[in-house]
Amino acid sequence: MCRMCDWLGEGEIWYKNPKNFSNRLYKLREPGKKPQAAMQSEGGGGRLHDALEAKADGDEDSFNRIIGEMNKRDAKRPGCHTLPLSEALEVVSKIGTPVGAMMCICRKGARGEEERNINEYTCTGLGTGMFKWERWPERYRGGVEFLSPKEACDWLDYWDKRGMMHMIMQEGGDFLGGICNCDYPDCLPIRHRMDYGLKYQLTKAEFICDIDYEKCTGCGECLGRCHFNSLKYEVTIDKPSIDHLSCFGCGLCMTACSRNAISLVERRTLPALVNAW
């Protein structure tokens, strides 16, 4: 299991531990008091800016040093965790309410646009954190559309069909904050990991995807859905292949396959991947 399971799971996958389903104590922040440290970036944006400035100046040593310092910091706290659709549906089915569709803060930053209604929202908020408007007012400017568990499952399935991978987020260090429907061009955790090597900001899923070549016909339905460059078409076999070492286990290739040729395999059952998070 990943480091978040060691900290928050109590022997099981952390996002399935009921103790993490909501903030244990809802408490309004006193006027003038700063947000808790877990809700702050701790200079993450500034440090990445410094790293990119160093890289632009050709100073690879400084770039690698700053990224290493950021990884050392991030390794000590939970982050985002990749989820296949089946796991995301299980979470929203068990967590109950409140569950709400809302604006994605990453897309606001990437596109300079705010999602303002149910036809535009792409993020899913979970638990009592949904009521903490005063903690992060910018996050809630687009409003919220509250969903029943059934509506939330349909919502996640809708975005999965449109090629969005799912990641679960923790907040406050010990509770589930939401499930975002993400893509490489817009998502900061994906971009930070894939482009800059900030590996602890997005953890791989508890699974990897595997192809049954007896069932696979090489139709190509799965191609173009991987945000992590793990799925490629092999001309030598005229079928796709998955690089298990780089696979994040999001399952988008699996949900696109009409022949059930792709399945999820638990990462911890494969010795070479048990520590590949």
Domain count, the chain: 2
Tell me whether residue 58 is in a domain.
no
**Four-residue CA torsion sign, 95, 98, 103, 109:** negative
With a cut of 80, say whether residue 119 has pLDDT above it.
Answer: yes
Q: Which positions ≥6 away from 112 have C-beta within 8 Å?
A: none
Tell me whether residue 91 is in a domain.
yes
How is 60-109 classified by DSSP, letter by letter?
HHHHHHHHHHHHHHHTTS--EEEE-HHHHHHHHHHH-S-EEEE--HHHHH
With a cut of 90, say whether residue 121 has pLDDT above it.
Answer: yes
Please compute the mean of the pLDDT values over residues 230-246 and round it to a whole number: 96
Among residues 159, 182, 203, which one ends one of the domains? Answer: 203
Sequence letter at residue 95? I
Residue 24's pLDDT is: 57
Sequence letter at residue 84? P
Residue 249's pLDDT is: 98
Mark whether 258 and 144 lie in a shared domain: no
The three-class DSSP label of residue 58 is coil
Mark whether 125 and 237 lie in a shared domain: no
Mark whether 246 and 148 lie in a shared domain: no
Residue 27's pLDDT is: 57
Mark whether 175 and 240 lie in a shared domain: no
Mark whether 214 and 196 lie in a shared domain: no
Q: What distance in Å separates the CA atoms of residue 55 and residue 78, rounded to the nearest whole number? A: 27
Long-range contacts, stretch 185-191, CB < 8 angstroms, 24+ apart: 185/110, 186/104, 186/106, 186/107, 186/110, 186/111, 187/106, 187/227, 188/106, 188/109, 188/110, 189/79, 189/80, 189/106, 190/227, 190/228
Residue 43's pLDDT is: 43
With a cut of 90, say whether residue 34 has pLDDT above it.
Answer: no
Residue 97: which pLDDT band, with cuts at 50, 70 and 90? confident
- Could you give the percent of the chain with pLDDT greater than 90? 65
Residue 161's pLDDT is: 97
With a cut of 70, say whether residue 90 has pLDDT above it.
Answer: yes
**Tens-digit pLDDT profile for residues 57-84:** 999 999 999 999 999 999 988 889 999 9
**Tens-digit pLDDT profile for residues 186-195:** 999 999 999 9
Q: Give Cα 173 distance to the centre of its chain.
A: 16
The CA–CA distances, whole Å, from 7 to 13, 19, 273 equal: 10, 12, 20
Structure tokens at 104: 């994605």
As a dihedral over the C-alpha atoms of residue 22, residue 28, residue 34, residue 39, rounded to 10 degrees, the angle is 20
Mark whether 173 and 134 lie in a shared domain: yes
Residue 139's pLDDT is: 77
Per DSSP, helices labelled H in the chain are: 3-8, 44-56, 60-74, 85-95, 105-111, 149-161, 188-196, 252-256
Mark whether 213 and 254 lie in a shared domain: yes
Residue 40: which pLDDT band, with cuts at 50, 70 and 90? very low
Owning domain of residue 232: 207-269
Please, what is the average pLDDT of the chain? 88
Mark whether 243 and 136 lie in a shared domain: no
Q: Which of 121-130, 197-206, 235-244 has the lowest mean pLDDT?
A: 121-130
Tell me whether residue 49 is in a domain.
no
Structure tokens at 6: 């060691």
With a cut of 80, say whether residue 134 has pLDDT above it.
Answer: no
Answer for the pair 124, 101: CB distance below 8 angstroms, yes or no: yes
Q: Which of 20-24, 147-151, 235-239 has the lowest mean pLDDT?
A: 20-24
Pairing of strands 80-83, 202-203: parallel
Tell me whether residue 56 is in a domain.
no
100/35: higher pLDDT: 100
Tell me whether residue 46 is in a domain.
no
> pTM to 2 decimals?
0.88
Q: Which of 62-66, 96-100, 212-216 has the lowest mean pLDDT?
A: 96-100
Among residues 203, 231, 259, which one ends one of the domains? Answer: 203
**Tens-digit pLDDT profile for residues 248-274:** 999 999 999 999 999 999 999 999 999
Tell me whether residue 37 is in a domain.
no
Mark whether 112 and 223 lie in a shared domain: no
Q: What distance in Å separates the CA atoms of residue 90 and residue 92, rounded to the nearest whole number? A: 6
